[in-house]
């Protein structure tokens, strides 16, 4: 089967089984009960696997202030993935115009104006604004689960425009941050392996935009800053799909948000992030659409109490 055929087949099976429901735009789905039950079990397992970090828990809304978004430099590197919130700020005349355009099936959204909010592209961005200041000796760990928006419409159910990422972030020194990344990746790989997923860790780069992005990607690979855990979803001939990543950000966020280590140096940060929807869907792709028929060892890891 071709890759396109395999993508269409997985999508059809997920929809037919009610794991996902179509909402009318690529990469935006309703998530059914079976999906949600697996999601919750995977998430609990993940949190248990990283309980030793004693991480501070933070949750953030799916939108972030433009001022915060600016500090991350995201739009310089990833303009193609960026989304901004448009709002209606007019009066009666503008409302009348909007209704006129809408009645003609026109694009009334063109009459909205930027509302000062951006779609959050990474779960951990708002965290750096919260932790600004000086860290304790040894640094600190954080647990962040949040929604990410990335404008990359695709028929592939493994590539959503809106999805959740659960991250364990460390802020500290270069040594403590790289140690966090390098310790977290095999731990996460073992957890995914216990769910019957074949995973491999591979060096990776982010999809930086354009000509300048080629340099950033080349640097990221050269410095071995990013690793992904990939798993086959569409057969052995197709490229495997990344379901998790581990990143060392150097001083990017420490500088941007004024975070300092206990010695007063600019903090280094690193994170391990699990793509929650991708992981859940990879499990359905691997074990089938009916969770009651999944292999007993996998079921007992996910639902130890039945």
Partner 1 sequence: MTDHADGDLAAIREALEKFGRLNRPLPEIADDDDLFAAGFTSHATVNVMLAIEDALAIEFPDELLNRTTFASITALANAAAQSRGSR
Total number of residues binding partner 1 (CB under 8 A)? 14
Q: Centre a 10 Å sphere on the Cβ of residue 24 and count the other Cβ atoms it contains.
A: 6
Separation in Å, CA 67 to CA 20, 151, 256: 35, 20, 12
CA distances from 92 to 10, 96, 98, 108 (A): 48, 6, 10, 15
Residue 154 near partner 1 by CB under 8 A: no
- Of 2, 36, 134, 212, which lies in the binding site for partner 1, with binding defined by CB under 8 A? 212
Contacts of residue 147, Cβ cutoff 8 Å, sequence gap at least 6? 62, 120, 123, 162, 163, 164
> Should residue 178 be labelled a site residue for partner 1 when binding is judged by CB under 8 A?
no
Nearer to partner 1 by C-beta: 146 or 254? 254
Assess 175 for contact with partner 1 (CB under 8 A).
no
Task: For the segment 244-263, give every residue that binds partner 1 (CB under 8 A).
Answer: 250, 252
**Residue 67 or 219 having the CB closest to partner 1:** 219
The reply on whether position 174 binds partner 1 by CB under 8 A is no
Close Cβ partners of 11 (under 8 Å, ≥ 6 residues apart): 20, 155, 156, 157
Which residue of 93, 104, 107, 211 would you call a contact of partner 1, by CB under 8 A? 211
Binding status of residue 237 toward partner 1 by CB under 8 A: no
In whole angstroms, what is the distance from residue 183 CA to residue 78 CA? 28
CA distance 33 to 280: 12
Site string for partner 1, 180-209 (x = CB under 8 A): ------------------------------
Give the number of other Cβ atoms within 10 Å of residue 48's Cβ. Answer: 10
- Between 60 and 257, name the residue whose CB sits nearer to partner 1: 257
**Residue numbers 28-87 binding partner 1 by CB under 8 A:** 73, 76
Which residues would be at the binding site for partner 1 (CB under 8 A)? 73, 76, 211-212, 214-216, 218-220, 222-223, 250, 252
């Amino acid at each position: 089967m071709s890759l396109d055929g395999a993508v269409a087949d997985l999508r059809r099976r997920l929809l037919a089984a009610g794991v996902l429901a179509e909402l009318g735009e690529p990469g935006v789905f309703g998530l059914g009960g079976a999906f949600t039950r697996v999601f919750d079990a995977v998430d609990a397992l993940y949190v248990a696997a990283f309980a030793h970090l004693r991480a501070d828990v933070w949750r953030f809304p799916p939108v972030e202030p433009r001022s915060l978004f600016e500090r991350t430099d995201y739009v310089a590197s990833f303009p193609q993935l960026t989304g901004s919130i448009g709002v209606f700020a007019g009066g009666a005349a503008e409302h009348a115009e909007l209704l006129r355009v809408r009645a003609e099936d026109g694009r009334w959204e063109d009459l909205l104006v930027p509302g000062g909010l951006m779609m959050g592209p990474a779960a951990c961005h708002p965290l750096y604004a919260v932790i600004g200041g000086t860290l304790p000796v040894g640094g600190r760990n954080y647990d962040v689960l949040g929604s990410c928006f990335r404008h990359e419409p695709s028929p592939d159910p493994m590539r959503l425009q809106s999805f959740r990422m659960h991250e364990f972030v460390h802020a500290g020194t270069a040594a403590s941050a790289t140690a966090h990344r390098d310790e977290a990746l095999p731990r996460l790989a073992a957890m995914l392996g216990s769910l019957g997923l074949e995973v491999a860790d591979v060096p990776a780069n982010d999809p930086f935009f354009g000509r300048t992005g080629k340099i950033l990607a080349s640097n990221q690979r050269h410095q071995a800053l990013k690793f992904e855990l990939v798993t086959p979803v569409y057969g052995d001939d197709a490229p495997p799909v990344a379901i998790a990543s581990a990143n060392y950000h150097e001083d990017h966020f420490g500088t941007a948000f004024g975070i300092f280590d206990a010695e007063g140096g600019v903090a280094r940060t690193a994170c391990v992030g699990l793509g929650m929807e991708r992981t859940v869907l990879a499990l359905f792709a691997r074990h089938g659409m009916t969770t009651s028929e999944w292999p007993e060892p996998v079921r007992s890891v996910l639902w130890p109490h039945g």
